Amino acid sequence: MRQCLTNPESGYYINKDPFGTKGDFITSPEISQMFGELVAIWCTTEWIAQRRPQRIRLIELGPGRGTLMRDMLKAFQSFAPFKNTIVDICLVEASPTLRTTQHSTLCDSATTETEDGFSSVTRYGIPIKWYINLKEVPRDVTSFIIAHEFFDALPIHQFEHTQNGWREIMIDYSVPQVKTAVSLPGQTRSFDEDPKFHLTVLPYYTASSKVGPESSPRYKNLPVKSKIEISPESWDIAKELALRISEQRTPKAPTGSGAALVIDYGPAETIPVDTLRAIKGHHFVSPFEEPGTADLSADVDFTALKLVAEQEGHVAVHGAVEQGEWLHALGIGARATVLASQQSTPEGKDRIAREYHRLVERSGGAMGKIYKVMAFTPRGTPTSVGFGGGVIDRGDDEVE
Ligand code: SAH
């Protein structure tokens, strides 16, 4: 998955822009501005609940075309007290092509190459920087971190519980069929097919099969024949998000400051099984055909992220809840009504209605149920908006 998606020469994301109706798939921020607006409202409510930290860094993991960040920044213009605390924006992006697209979506000024990445200034005058890895992003101020459809792109391992213990499922290839069976002296045998890749259960153990399934009671006690998928890289990043929040301690915020919002597809509670998939031109294709030309992804194991974040980072974890539920709690109904009333044509009103349904409906290929939302906030902070909590203003009178 790592090589197919982000190999610097031939990775899927490296040389192309895969989004939109003409691309391979479409994401919520590309469907409607409402999505970014509501994510911005969530950040603002969380900032108020955390007694308005005065220096904020916005971090986005895998920002695609930069559409979500653009819509968020536009929405923040209506919340001046929050907007004025943003010291910079840090985008974590592996693809030079998408970095260029993000730059043109968000900035007018040129990009400069710095020691640790690239930097520019957004149209709203906020400094913006690009990094390849979250670990390189500075940790000096409170971060609000967004990961939309990022975790599903991270590599997974698959395992099967056999009579002999856990075994890793790996990728093998079959020897191609030879069409010309007879090879005469002086003639080279011609193979008319590329090797065919397929999954296979290894008959012996690997380092990963010794460590991965043993790492949690969730896996250890599963019966023979069970299959599981795990993504240690996702755990590592979830831990990093939690640590970034919990380490920003001040007298005003004794358990930390900041928040992370993860939106992606996957089960809220169960362990993903056999979910590796490839998408090309809005259709599922075999993940093993023409590697590097299709988007590869796997379901996000939200419970695994929650366990890592709670354990290592001492944060409060909210959700996962369904995207439709979360968007409704944030006010998508009211926003859609306002946007529709501003449309002068019936087609315009219909478009808003279609976008709204696509984001919130639970069936018919819509995104309301399949996609989940999870948030990390400092330990002891109130239940977050969208996850059962209301807007809580704890004031800012304790600001030093
Ligand atoms: N959030 C965007 C894009 C989702 S696609 C949206 O919802 O529209 C996944 C994004 O993550 C792309 O920008 C891709 O280039 C980036 N990406 C994938 N794997 C990555 C990795 N390992 N490190 C950094 N960025 C990565």
pLDDT digit string (tens) for 236-272? 999 999 999 999 998 889 999 999 999 999 999 999 9
Contact partners, residue 236, CB within 8 Å, separation at least 6:
none
Say which range, 15-24, 41-50, 196-205, 245-254, has the weakest mean pLDDT.
Answer: 15-24
**pLDDT band of 399, cuts 50, 70, 90:** very low
- Amino acid 183: pLDDT: 56
Mean residue pLDDT across the chain: 92
**Rg of the chain's alpha carbons, rounded to an integer?**
23
Q: What is the pTM of this model?
A: 0.93
CA distances from 120 to 83, 111, 112, 210, 244 (A): 18, 5, 6, 45, 24
Share of the chain above pLDDT 70, in %: 94
Backbone angles phi, psi at 192, to 5 degrees: -95, 5
What span, in angstroms and rounded, lies between the C-alpha atoms of 260 and 242? 8
| Residue 53 CB contacts under 8 Å (≥ 6 apart), including other chains | 47, 85, 142, 248, 253, 257, 258
Instruction: Please tell me the distance from the alpha carbon of residue 68 to that of residue 372, in angstroms, as a whole number.
Output: 17
Distance CA 57, CA 139 (A): 9
- Ligand 1 contacts CB of residue 261 (under 6 A): no
For the purposes of burial, counting CB atoms within 10 Å of the CB of 144, is it exposed (0-12), middle (13-18) or buried (19 or more)? buried
So what's the pLDDT on residue 23?
Answer: 84
Distance in Å, CA 6 to ligand 1 centroid: 9
389 alpha carbon – ligand 1 mean position (Å): 30
Q: How confident is the model at residue 21 (pLDDT cuts 50, 70, 90)?
A: confident
> So what's the pLDDT on residue 192?
57
At 275, the pLDDT band (50, 70, 90 cuts) reads very high
**Confidence at 184, pLDDT banded by 50, 70, 90:** low
Q: Whose CA is nearest to atom 14 of ligand 1?
A: 62
C-alpha 106 to ligand 1 mean position (Å): 17
CB of 144 shorter than 6 A to ligand 1: no
pLDDT digits (tens, 9 = 90+) for 143-154: 999 999 999 999
Residue type, position 138, single letter = P
Q: What is the pLDDT of residues 130-174, one digit of tens each?
A: 999 999 999 999 999 999 999 999 999 999 999 999 999 999 988
In DSSP terms, which residues pair with 322 in a beta bridge?
372
Q: State the sign of the Cα–Cα–Cα–Cα dihedral 312, 232, 245, 326.
A: negative
Distance 300 CA to ligand 1 centre (A): 14
User: Which residue's alpha carbon is at the smallest distance from atom 19 of ligand 1?
Assistant: 153
- Sort strands 86-92 and 56-61 into parallel, antiparallel or unpaired: parallel
Q: Tell whether ligand 1 has an atom less than 6 A from the beta carbon of residue 150.
A: yes
Nearest CA to ligand 1 atom 11: 62
Is the C-beta atom of 60 inside 6 A of ligand 1?
no
Cα(92)–Cα(232) distance, integer angstroms: 19
CA distance 316 to 10: 39
Per-residue confidence (pLDDT) for residue 191, from 0 to 100: 54
**Which one has a higher pLDDT value, 247 or 20?**
247
Mean pLDDT throughout 293-316? 93
Q: Average the pLDDT over 362-383 and give the result.
A: 94
**164 CA distance to ligand 1 centroid (A)?**
38
Amino acid 325 reads E
All residues at 6 or more sequence positions from 338 whose CB lies less than 8 Å from its CB, including other chains: none
Q: Given this model, what pLDDT does residue 19 score?
A: 87
pLDDT at 278: 95
Whether the per-residue pLDDT at 235 is higher than 90: the answer is yes
Strand ordering across the sheet containing 86-92:
112-114, 117-121, 127-131, 86-92, 56-61, 142-148, 258-265, 371-378, 315-322
Q: What is the mean pLDDT of residues 223-237?
A: 96
Length of the chain: 400
27, pLDDT greater than 90:
yes
Residue 313 half-sphere exposure, CB side, CA atoms within 13 Å?
Answer: 32
Q: Is the pLDDT of residue 74 over 80?
A: yes
Dihedral angle over CA of 386, 387, 389, 395, nearest 10: -70
Pairing status of strand 127-131 against strand 117-121: antiparallel
Is any ligand 1 atom within 6 A of the Cβ of residue 5?
yes
